[in-house]
Amino acid sequence: MSGSLGYVETQRVVLATPDDPLRFRAGGRLDHVEVAYETYGRLNEARDNAVFVTHALTGTAHAAGLHLGAKKRGWWDTMIGPGKPVDTDRFFVISPNILGGCSGTTGPLSIDPATGRAYCLDFPMLHMSDLVAVHRRLLAHLGIERLYAGVGGSLGGMQILQWVIDDPAAIERAVLVAASSQLTTENIALSTVAREAIMNDPDFVNGRYVEQGVFPWRGQKVARMMAHINYVSGQALEEKFGRRRRSAGDAWELGPDFEVEHYLQHQGNTFLDRFDALSYLYLTRLLDYFDPFAEPATAQALGSTTTRFQVTSFDSDWRFDTGQSKRLVERLEGLGVDVDFAELHSTQGHDSFLLEPAGYHERVAAFLA
Amino acid sequence: MSGSLGYVETQRVVLATPDDPLRFRAGGRLDHVEVAYETYGRLNEARDNAVFVTHALTGTAHAAGLHLGAKKRGWWDTMIGPGKPVDTDRFFVISPNILGGCSGTTGPLSIDPATGRAYCLDFPMLHMSDLVAVHRRLLAHLGIERLYAGVGGSLGGMQILQWVIDDPAAIERAVLVAASSQLTTENIALSTVAREAIMNDPDFVNGRYVEQGVFPWRGQKVARMMAHINYVSGQALEEKFGRRRRSAGDAWELGPDFEVEHYLQHQGNTFLDRFDALSYLYLTRLLDYFDPFAEPATAQALGSTTTRFQVTSFDSDWRFDTGQSKRLVERLEGLGVDVDFAELHSTQGHDSFLLEPAGYHERVAAFLA
């Protein structure tokens, strides 16, 4: 029997200080890094039942359960809970907000203690290893040496991959869903248009919008509308909205009329409340540059790991399509890594990893069992 | 032997006047419509060798040959010329700029004689039939009753389809390349994001930007960058740019670095010089609403036509994919219309119709022979 978690709370911890700063792979350092995270379930005495969950581009630490007073459950509540694939009756689950994010963990809008002003564009460029370095500090803070599993979808899966590369002994089982080891040229192309929309918004003011009391809402809205199309499948849009309109007959207009247009307006507008433009720039850029198999140290690290991988793609995903998962699997297998790969059927595109297409939860549950 | 046309000139003609206004299908009228067009080759005595070429979203009347002093030949110079598929030794070719465009034919930035100001958002909403009505007036002006052929790619092909519906006896052969009879929900979704980028640009000023001496350049650039990705294939981008960067190693930046980003910047910027934002809004919207088989008159019109159709799609086109051509072909065949359909292989996406993938020109030439 599976149930749901009850009330949960986000916690915070300081994981970098002037005495122990966080140094970034592509240059720069932070003397103060705070991390927001949640935990579900209990750590056993052997401290060997920890499962680390890493979120995707715009996620938060709130992966499961309910915040007091909230109506909506955590973003992966279908996956995490008592009796669910990431079973909180069995596992101690750790879910932080990622470095560079805007939901409690230090990011571009955080205050630089050296200046008393927000970092904005002075925030260091992010490498996947920088995110992993913070995860590792969090794990150490919790007194855990080795993870039973690391689980992530999309950018979340890419953090788990980098973690195995950076510390090949840290993770027993790695679950990567709808991920990639290298963005395609088209991925980068779509990503750069989203950033262009944000950075050319007059209210971006060179990244110092917070201090000016403005926000690049127009650009951020366009970026999200575009990205949202990229996350869902054409078939899903077709089935959900077809060509239904709000106007009738020849009462045509330039502004939103088809239902899919109103839907995208809604997606764009609600995104403004929950995400920051600078975090969007930094995190999409991190994805563009991510290319671990181009780094010399990767082969050696993966050649020595005992981590078992499970890689899953969805056939309607055109954000990170099956071809990208297959390339990742080939690279891993070429280095002798144990990989269980499957492409699952789903009509829901990239967002499938957040949903429950047939066979998906069973597959993750079996791998973690 | 095929050669190229020499110097050509754009001509202009007034095709609607207060005594003979153009009435729009979705409401509204224009008392003055001017059309820019070019012709190539000679009309024979029987007046039965005319081929009408209709352009795509951002095209112009200048389809072939060279303007005096210009470096670039017309946009379909590979297709039109002596000995080419649309053979100017044999055919009299007519190529106008479409209604609502911004290259000589009346559009939203034209001056409304009633007010002395540009129409801007007071320009009537466009139906495909309105474009065809102007084409038909141009044909009558040239003293031609019936076309040997109508030839168009993308939106161009859709004009030819509508023309057969509106006047089933007018066209002997209809050549439709990379076209559609009904945009998908995803097509509309991408289209609405482009319009959002333009209309939410602060310099759009409710469409009256010309009078304010500003232009919604930021939004228009984003719209074009996005559309451009839609016009090319992921494979073509991959082959052309891969992950090549201008910076080296860990010298990362948020702004353009990968070659594909610089390429899109260039595409976005050059588009600003050659196209108008209001025309972009009106013409993309015309496409969204285009749905001739949903109109009762269509079945009757097509049931009686003797027009022979040739429909061609390209396997890497994700703007108007083969599925859309197939649906169109099924609809036509269901009404007893003679259709020759083929999907051709090309790695170049939607833009293939402007290029020369294997078998394409031969196919069009054979159909017109």
- Contact: B195, A268; criterion CB under 8 Å: no
- pLDDT confidence of residue B144: 98
First to last CA, chain A: 15
Q: Please tell me whether residue A11 adopts helix, strand or coil conformation.
A: strand
How many CB atoms are closer than 10 A to CB B334? 12
| d(CA B260, nearest CA chain A) in Å | 6
Distance separating the N- and C-terminal Cα atoms of chain B: 15
- pLDDT attached to residue A337: 98
Tens of pLDDT, residue by residue over A30-89, are 999 999 999 999 999 999 999 999 999 999 999 999 999 999 999 999 999 999 999 999
Q: What is the pTM of this model?
A: 0.96
Of A323, A363, A311, A355, the C-alpha closest to A175 is A311
- Determine the 3-state secondary structure of A173 from DSSP: strand
* Cβ neighbours for B14, distance < 8 A, ≥ 6 positions apart: B32, B33, B34, B35
What token pair was written down for B201?
A: 């640009």
Contact criterion met (CB below 8 Å) for B132 and B32 = no
State how far the Cα of A154 lies from the Cα of A176, in Å rounded to an integer.
8
Which helix (H) or strand (E) is A222 found in, with range? helix A217-231
CA distance A271 to B311: 42
Give every residue of chain A whose pLDDT is below 50, as ranges. Answer: none
Angle, alpha carbons B83-B87-B88 (nearest 5°): 105
Nearest CA in chain B to A250: B26
The residues, ordered by sequence, that sit 6+ positions from A45 with a Cβ below 8 Å of its Cβ are none
B70 token code pair? 């210009």
The SS3 of residue A27 is coil
Is A300's Cβ below 8 Å from some Cβ in B? no
Contacts of B289 in chain A (CB under 8 A): 252
In this prediction the ipTM stands at 0.95
Measured between alpha carbons, how far is A257 from A236 in angstroms, rounded to an integer? 19
Q: Is residue A154 annotated as part of the catalytic site, yes or no?
A: yes
> What distance in Å separates the CA atoms of residue B167 and residue B159, rounded to the nearest whole number?
12
pLDDT confidence band for B109 (50 / 70 / 90): very high
Which of 65-124 (B) contact A at CB < 8 A? Answer: 121
Contact residues, chain A, for B122 at CB < 8 Å: none
Residue for token pair 């630089």: A112
Q: Is A317 a catalytic residue?
A: yes
Residues B26-51: pLDDT tens digits? 999 999 999 999 999 999 999 999 99
CA-to-CA distance for B331 and B293, rounded, in angstroms?
8
Backbone angles phi, psi at B62, to 5 degrees: -85, 80
Catalytic residue numbers of B, as ranges: 154, 317, 350
What is the predicted pLDDT for the residue at B251? 85
Contacting A residues, span 123-162, partner chain B, CB-CB under 8 Å = 125, 127
Residue B284 — very low, low, confident or very high, per pLDDT cuts 50/70/90?
A: very high
What's chain A's Rg over C-alpha atoms? 20
Which of B192, B278, B284, B290 is best to mutate for the A interface (most A CBs within 10 A)?
Answer: B192
Cα distance between residue A168 and residue A157, in whole Å: 15
Strands A308-314 and A171-177, by their bridges, are parallel
Quick one: pLDDT band at residue B1, thresholds 50, 70, 90? low
Q: How far apart are CA A270 and CA A275, in angstroms?
A: 9
At residue B354, the pLDDT reads 98
Rg of chain B (C-alpha set): 20
Q: Is it the case that residue B17 has pLDDT exceeding 60?
A: yes
pLDDT of residue B3: 82
